[in-house]
Amino acid sequence: MQAVAAARYGCAPHQVVVAPGTQALLQWLPRLFPADRVAIAGPTYGGHARAWQAAGAQIVDNGAAHAVVVNPNNPDGRRTSLAELRARAEGLTLLVVDEAFADFDAESLATDPPPHTIVLRSFGKTYGLAGARLGFAIAREGMAARLREALGPWAVGGPTLAIGRAALADTGWLNAASARLTADGEWLDARLVEVGFAIAGATPLFRLAARADASRAFRRLGENGILVRPFAYRPDWLRFGVPRAQHRARVAAALQAAGPTSSAS
């Protein structure tokens, strides 16, 4: 598995740590690399802050020796350049770069992680195989060995490893998925704009859309069988997965039913 993952992510096999999902790695990091303060600029995936806070760390925007960057960011898709990440790593004792949504990006820090840096890669975000809990940490040899020892032997079951090897080696499928997501994403953008949303962020796998009455739209979409993600801290945001072509008619009808009220349009 390490060799296949290394080939997929462009690194050396000894740099790869195979884990039962990225979330398991998140829980281990505060125990292996404890800190009083961790810099996590939001809004971003809340699992990172929860894991560090559970270990007693204070979460700050900046100015800490440990930092976490989600790249591309969840939920708004913003990207931090590799040059900026490398420069930031120089002044830190630990930099965690979560590349859960980076499978379709041209650049990745995983190809050559700087010292004191751990890059996280998710399997399920792109491949979406239910029940296959699989994720990876990529780091220089010493940090990778420390993570591997903490997880212990047989951290991931045989069937999941077999599925993961086959999926990660299938570059033809990945290229086809990238082309499909580009077309499906463009279709979704147009439908969202038609019903009054502004595109507030994006990756090939999701769109973040903004509208003043997003909470109402969330309810109406749910009533029509379309589940999207709301945000308590930004009630004008909804995050949409990118639907396949065979679901376009149903998604379009639900969006029309969730169209803006006259006061919001």
Domain with CATH 3.90.1150.10 in the chain: 172-257
**CATH fold for domain 2-169:** Aspartate Aminotransferase; domain 2 (3.40.640)
Backbone dihedral angles phi then psi of residue 151, each to the nearest 5 degrees: -70, -30
Q: Please report the pLDDT score of residue 265 as a whole number.
A: 41
Secondary structure element (H or E) that encloses residue 206, with its range? strand 206-210
Residues 6+ apart with CB under 8 A from 134: 18, 19, 20, 21, 123, 124, 156, 160, 161, 163, 164
Q: Does the global pTM surpass 0.85?
A: yes
Task: Count Cβ atoms below 10 Å from residue 176 Cβ, excluding itself.
Answer: 11
Residues composing the chain = 265
Does the domain spanning 172-257 belong to CATH 3.40.640.10? no
Tens of pLDDT, residue by residue, the chain (265 residues): 999 999 999 999 999 999 999 999 999 999 999 999 999 999 999 999 999 999 999 999 999 999 999 999 999 999 999 999 999 999 899 999 999 999 999 899 999 999 999 999 999 999 988 889 999 999 999 999 999 999 999 999 999 999 999 999 999 999 999 999 999 999 999 999 999 999 999 999 999 999 999 999 999 999 999 999 999 999 999 999 999 999 999 999 999 999 987 544 4
Euclidean distance between CA atoms 100 and 71, whole angstroms:
8
Domain with CATH 3.40.640.10 in the chain: 2-169
